[in-house]
Amino acid sequence: MTNPQDNQQTNSSTISPGLEAINHLFATMNEMYPNQWMAHQDVNRQKRLWASQLSQRAPELIYRALDLCPDRHPSHPPTIGEFRRVMQELSMPTPKVIPPVQRLSYEEDDDRSAARRYTLALYAKKCTDMNFGENTYAGDFDCMAVVDMVDAATGSLSTHKEYWGALYEAFDRAWREYEDKNQET
């Protein structure tokens, strides 16, 4: 990463981190793009403009974006918009990888599998108000009762995971009760 201390001309105790970052940006851009950066322009006016456009950003983000300029803009200096886009890309969170759903550890018979698929489709419809294919179930297991046990998933992905986990648990409990009831008769 470029070091703002290399180009610092004033005492760091009298200059704000944001202004220090802008001064560093201008000095570095002038070195990277000689005869192109701010050629024939009022540098102080441009510094104020860039500072106003970048003032809400952390100085570290400005330094990181500046490090990418030679690769992103090899032949010309970036505009304010292009520079802000690089900072925006840098500030985006890295997507989390969601692990695959583990298969149930016991063997599923056809009736249970069909009931489970239908319960999942009903719950997905409850959460999104969309139909997910032609899911039907001809058995006598009450899939809708299981769906009614769990609130519709809302919020973040981690919250969705909790709701869906609760649905799987409710289905497993209800299926065991269903099997126990059918074995008694």
Same domain, yes or no: 47 and 125: no
Give the CA-trace dihedral at 66, 71, 76, 82, to 10 degrees: -60
- Rg of the chain over Cα atoms, rounded to whole angstroms, equals 30
pLDDT number for residue 5: 47
Q: Which stretches of the chain drop beneath a pLDDT of 70?
A: 1-15, 98-109, 132-135, 157-158, 185
Give the CA-trace dihedral at 131, 134, 137, 138, to 10 degrees: 140
pLDDT number for residue 107: 46
Same domain, yes or no: 58 and 126: no
pLDDT number for residue 157: 67
> What distance in Å separates the CA atoms of residue 129 and residue 124, rounded to the nearest whole number?
8
Strand, coil or helix: what is 94? Answer: coil
Domain range enclosing 126 = 110-184
Same domain, yes or no: 81 and 114: no
